[in-house]
Structure 1
């Protein structure tokens, strides 16, 4: 079983969106998947309530139950687990990062977001786990993506080679308990999400 933690000390950067898209991509790839929702806002669990498909499983949890839930997920045959963490909770995020095989740090390509990722990067380093920044909500036109990559480079942090753009499909799909791959299978958002999953799968030797 492979585990990815989606971590950011800043809210509104798209952690749950990244978590849901990776989880559904893994399910579609034939890998039984569990999302562990550590965020008190329970956004992933709310999405699951709207979803018609039984998979992926979404398990709301408190961080002190994380080890037990991971062990049970593996016992039940899960091949892939995504941990969706809460912002502004360093201890919870650190526990998730330590339990993961890979830590992803979503970040929007804006000044305040880029300045705020330092604490998340330090947290991933403290956990001593492989990590990468995922640039999210990039305007399809303009040079913000390359500018963001340069800014992240000042932290000497690895960057996922797949950027997620600011596309309506990422938002409209969630209302129906879907992800972009299901809402608009041939769209650009679906393609980006699938490419990000393929990159994650390669990092994990899945």
Structure 2
């Protein structure tokens, strides 16, 4: 079983959106996946409440139950667990980071986000776990994202994921209906970005990318469901 933690001490960076999309992408590709919502706001769990599809499984769990939850997930055959953590909660973030095989730190390429990343970087650096910043809400044009990537590496010593998520309407609209961008707009750019990110993440945690891609070609994507 592999575990991926989404961690940021700043709110509003797209952490839950990324957690939902990755968990669903891996589940769709054939890997039994559990999304663990450790945020008291339970945004991922509320998304699941609006969702028609049974999977991926989503559990809202108090941070104190994380260890037991991971043990149970492994016993029940989970291949991947995605941890969605709360901002401004160092204890929860550290527990999730310690349990993770890979840590992703979503960050928008803005000066406010870069300043706020200092706390997250200081929290994670000493753990020596594979950690990557993931640039989110990236504008289609301009060099701001390139500059942000350089700043993250230079100032915080944190590697940056080579794949970026753009400013896509689909990322927000899909959540209203309990969907992901891949289900809401299968041929859209947001869906393509998530597919690419999933393949990159699978390589980082030692999952078979070729097997996932092969499974993806056999999966029937649900038809688009319009939000009420």
Question: Which bracket does the TM-score occupy, shorter chain normalised?
Answer: over 0.9
* Distance in structure 1 (CA, Å) of the matches to 2:198 and 2:163: 9
Q: Which runs of 5+ in 1 are unaligned?
A: none
Taking the TM superposition and a 5 Å limit, the aligned residue runs for 1:107-122 are 107-122=107-122
Asked if 2 retains the 8 angstrom alpha-carbon contact of 1:94 and 1:124, the reply is: yes
When structure 1 is superposed on structure 2, of 71-80 and 150-159 the one drifting more is 150-159
Larger radius of gyration: 2
* Aligned match of 2:71: 71
* Aligned match of 1:35: 35
When structure 1 is superposed on structure 2, of 147-156 and 52-61 the one drifting more is 147-156
Q: CA RMSD in A?
A: 0.8
* Aligned match of 1:168: 169
TM-score (norm 2): 0.89
* Distance in structure 2 (CA, Å) of the matches to 1:128 and 1:91: 17
How many residues get paired?
A: 206
* Aligned match of 2:179: 178
* Aligned match of 1:201: 202
* Aligned match of 2:102: 102
* Distance in structure 2 (CA, Å) of the matches to 1:176 and 1:44: 13
Deviations 1:82-107 (A, max 9, x none): 00000000011000000110000000
Give every structure 1 segment of 4 or more consecutive aligned residues whose post-TM-superposition deviation is greater than 3 Å. Answer: none
1:120 is displaced (CA, Å) by 1.1
Q: Which runs of 5+ in 2 are unaligned?
A: 208-228
Deviations 1:143-196 (A, max 9, x none): 221111121122221000100011100000000101111110110000111111
